[in-house]
Amino acid sequence: MEYDKSIVNRLKRIEGQVKGVLSMIEKNQSCHDVITQLTASRSAIDRTIGLIVSMNLEQCVREDIANGESTKQVVKEAVDLLVKSR
């Protein structure tokens, strides 16, 4: 699968968030603030996972339809990936 530049940008933002959390911990900032930022990072990761799975699913479904194949297996695999990511 070819990854869109938006995926790379999202991951770089997440990387920045995680580095920010590390800095907060090193500065002994409040637990509440650290957890808030970790939650935001986790949410961003979850959204990125969903985006990657949906982009891959769309690509695979198009290929299967073009080849006259069933899309049942690729849909199942996409659902399994989403379930596994939780």
Which CATH superfamily includes the segment(s) 5-85? Answer: Metal-sensitive repressor, helix protomer (1.20.58.1000)
The full set of domain ranges for the chain reads 5-85
CA dist., res. 42 & res. 30, Å (int): 18
Looking up tokens 């969903």 gives: 50
DSSP calls for 30-52: -HHHHHHHHHHHHHHHHHHHHHH
* pLDDT tens-digit map of 18-62: 999 999 999 999 999 999 999 999 999 999 999 999 999 999 898
Band (pLDDT 50/70/90 cuts) for residue 2 is: confident
Q: Which residues contact 31 (CB under 8 A, 6 or more apart)?
A: none
Confidence of residue 84 (pLDDT cuts 50, 70, 90): confident
Q: Is the pLDDT score of 1 beyond 80?
A: no
